Amino acid sequence: MANLIPVAKTVGANKIVPTISIPYPLGDPSTTKEQQWKLRYHRVGVALDALTIDVKEQTIFPVKI
């Protein structure tokens, strides 16, 4: 899970899920705690699902929130 997708690709991460920033990858402090939780829950869920998916090359998994 990374914010700098090009860097993640360069260093060879095979399954990449985007995060929202460098200092707070999984929860923007300017939003409510509830919104932060929802975003984090969603993106970590995408990452967990990614672990079950068979990929042949570096793949960026889309997120909705």
Query: Using CB under 8 A as the criterion, which residues of the chain lie in contact with another protein when the complex forms?
Result: 1-4, 8, 10-15, 19, 22-27, 29, 36-37, 40-41, 44-45, 47-49, 51-57
Residues 51-61, buried b or exposed e (16+ Cβ, 10 A)? Answer: eeeeeeeeeeb
Q: What gap in Å lies between CA 7 and CA 33, rounded to an integer?
A: 29
For residue 18, the minimal CB distance to another protein (Å) is 11
For residue 32, the minimal CB distance to another protein (Å) is 12
For another protein, the closer CB: 10 or 64 = 10
